[in-house]
Amino acid sequence: MNDCIFCKIAKGEIPCYKVYEDDKVLAFLDIAQDAFGHTVVIPKKHFANIFECDEETLSTCISAVKKISNHYVNHCGFEGVNISNNNGKAAGQTVHHIHFHIIPRKSGDGINIYNELAGDNTPLDKQLELLKLN
C-alpha cells in the first residue's frame, strides 16, 4: 500500500525503533510513548485488519508477539504483558495495517488499559442470543 505508514516502516522508508525483525514480521516501539516499552508488531505484507489477513500471517504475527513477550518477561525485568489488536475504525483502529500492541507490565505500575470500559448490564443470555456461533 503506497500511503500506508506501517508499509513505509516495513520497507525502511520511514525510521523506527526496531525491537525485532525477521523475514515476515517487524516489531518497533510505538511513538505514542504512553507506556514504557509499548511495542507494535506488524506483518511486513499489508493487510488492513484481521478480517482481511490470512491465517498463516496471523499465526506468524502471534508467534512473534509471543517471542517478544517472552523476551520482555525473561530478560527485560517485566512480569507480564498486555496484548491488544484493534480492527476497524469503530474499534479504534487508526493505522489500517494490521498490528498487535504489546504493553510490558510490572506489578503496581499503575497502568489500567481497561479504564475506558463503561460497563454493560445486558443479561449474558441475551448477549448470547446475538453472539453464539453454533
CA nearest 95: which of 9, 33, 35? 9
- Of the pair 28, 78, the CB lying nearest ligand AMP is at 28
Q: Which residues pair with 27 in a beta bridge?
A: 20, 41
Give the Cα separation of 8 and 14 in Å (integer): 6
Least distance in angstroms from the C-beta of 3 to ligand AMP: 13
**Interaction partner, residue 31 (ligand AMP, Zn ion, none; CB < 5-8 Å by kind):** ligand AMP
- Of the pair 80, 92, the CB lying nearest ligand AMP is at 92
Give the Cα separation of 64 and 7 in Å (integer): 18
- Of the pair 1, 76, the CB lying nearest Zn ion is at 1
**Interaction partner, residue 5 (ligand AMP, Zn ion, none; CB < 5-8 Å by kind):** ligand AMP
Binding site for ligand AMP (CB under 6 A): 5, 14, 16, 28, 30-32, 40, 86, 92-95
Binding site for Zn ion (CB under 5 A): 1, 4, 6-7, 46, 97
Least distance in angstroms from the C-beta of 24 to ligand AMP: 19
Active site annotation includes 99: yes
Give the Cα separation of 104 and 94 in Å (integer): 21
Give the Cα separation of 39 and 36 in Å (integer): 9
Catalytic positions are: 99
